[in-house]
Amino acid sequence: MNNSVMIFGAAGNFGGKIASSLAKAGISLILVGRTEKNLNELKSKIEAINSKISVAIVAVSDIETTLTDHLKFFKPFIVINTCGPFQLIDCSVAKSCIIQKTHYIDLADGRQYVENFTSLDELAIANDCIAISGASTVPCLSSAVLEHYKDQFNEFESLKYGIAPGQRADRGLSTVRGVLSYTGKVLKPYVGSDISYGWQDIYRQKYPVIGTRLMANCDIPDLDLLPKFYNLKSIKFSGSIENSIVHLGLWFLSWLVRLKIIENLEKYSALLLKLSHIFDPFGTSDGGMHMIISGKDKNNLPKTVKWFIIAKNGHGPHIPSIPAIILTKKIIQGNFLIRGAKACVGLVSLEEYISELKCYDIEVYEQS
């Protein structure tokens, strides 16, 4: 059996980390990206990690136009898609993979994208495929934390959580485009919310080790998924930029969009990303994620758990890469027998997740 893995966006922020980890596990790779030079550099790095595996590169300007041909030629066992922003694309890549009977994993954080993804369920079952969307920090890690604590609760009531990357942490253009696509715009309603707008409703969150960060509304698949899976009555997710000037600057721009002075920030993505790097010397490479889970314990008394994961020395971007690595290994080893098109909720345990992170400068903290 051909157990090779094809990675779209291989030379990108997350693709390279996934590729390097899979190479250590002895998995052959097909690296797909836009720039041959970047792919060759990654190939050399991977071959230095493990010279025994096969590594091929495919440089294409538009993967969708040649996808079927490449799938037929290379016959990968699994495709991992890291190419966002998923807020701005449909599920056609996943559908093409399923039609070719290729397992599929993506790191989607687009709310509508993940909602639409389950429409591929019957097709995936018919083609004996597993197709997984959202194999990233949210909803994979967030649901893993809820799964870990659910036996301590009689019922969950509310979840308030967010991600606060360091100013110097790697950030790609696709991520910036994804956030700007909803900044200042009305977010689709979710449980426990009134009308809310992207990158507004600022509050301060205190973290262990890294201090206090400003937080603001973000639009992610969890807002639909987690209340359905865990019967939450209230949910709130926020993101952060470590440097307060940059964070508040984006908050100001969100008002310009909300007041319809600016129609769309997405077209300024490259410029705003470049400007944000000016402030990198005034920030750190340390970031974190918080989850504040409230509900009733087994005696129907109020219970709250505060869970944090803190990444230092620029290791934060490894966290969203982990689910695709774990799931790929499971599928290749034959330890994942589910078929269909699923959101990545409850598919990876917290213990599995943390174990995969043990070689990085990442720590977990709990406050009850």
Average pLDDT per 10 consecutive residues for the chain, totaling 368 residues? 89 94 96 94 94 91 85 96 90 96 96 96 98 97 98 98 94 90 96 94 97 98 98 98 97 98 94 95 97 97 98 95 97 93 97 96 94
Per-residue pLDDT at 2? 76
What are the residue ranges of CATH 3.30.360.10 in the chain? 138-311
At the fourth CATH level, which superfamily is domain 138-311?
Dihydrodipicolinate Reductase; domain 2 (3.30.360.10)
Query: Residue 321: its pLDDT value, please?
Result: 96
Residue 85: predicted pLDDT: 87
Order the strands of the 234-239 sheet from edge to edge: 203-207, 211-217, 234-239, 153-164, 287-297, 302-311, 362-367
CA distance 1 to 335: 16
Question: The tokens of 13 are what?
Answer: 């922020």
pLDDT computed for residue 104 by the predictor = 98
Where in the sequence of the chain do the CATH 3.40.50.720 domains occur?
Answer: 5-137+317-346
pTM reported for the whole predicted model: 0.95
pLDDT in tens, 312-335: 999 999 999 999 999 999 999 998
In this prediction, residue 226 carries a pLDDT of 98
Residue 169's pLDDT is what? 87
User: Mean pLDDT in the chain?
Assistant: 95
Q: What does the block give as tokens for 220?
A: 């992610």
CA distance linking residue 311 with residue 212, whole number of Å: 15
How far is it, in rounded angstroms, from Cα 212 to Cα 57?
A: 43
Strand partners, 160: 236, 292
Short-list 354, 291, 304, 365, CA closest to 152: 304
In this predicted model, what pLDDT tens digit does every residue of 34-74 receive, in sequence order?
999 999 999 999 999 998 999 999 988 777 788 999 999 99
DSSP state of 40: H
The runs of H, that is alpha helices, within 25-154 are 36-49, 63-74, 92-99, 111-117, 121-126, 142-149
Residue 220's pLDDT is: 97
CA gap 46, 20 in Å, rounded: 6
What pLDDT, on the 0 to 100 scale, is given for residue 65? 82
Structure confidence at residue 328 (pLDDT)? 98
Fold of 5-137+317-346: Rossmann fold (3.40.50)
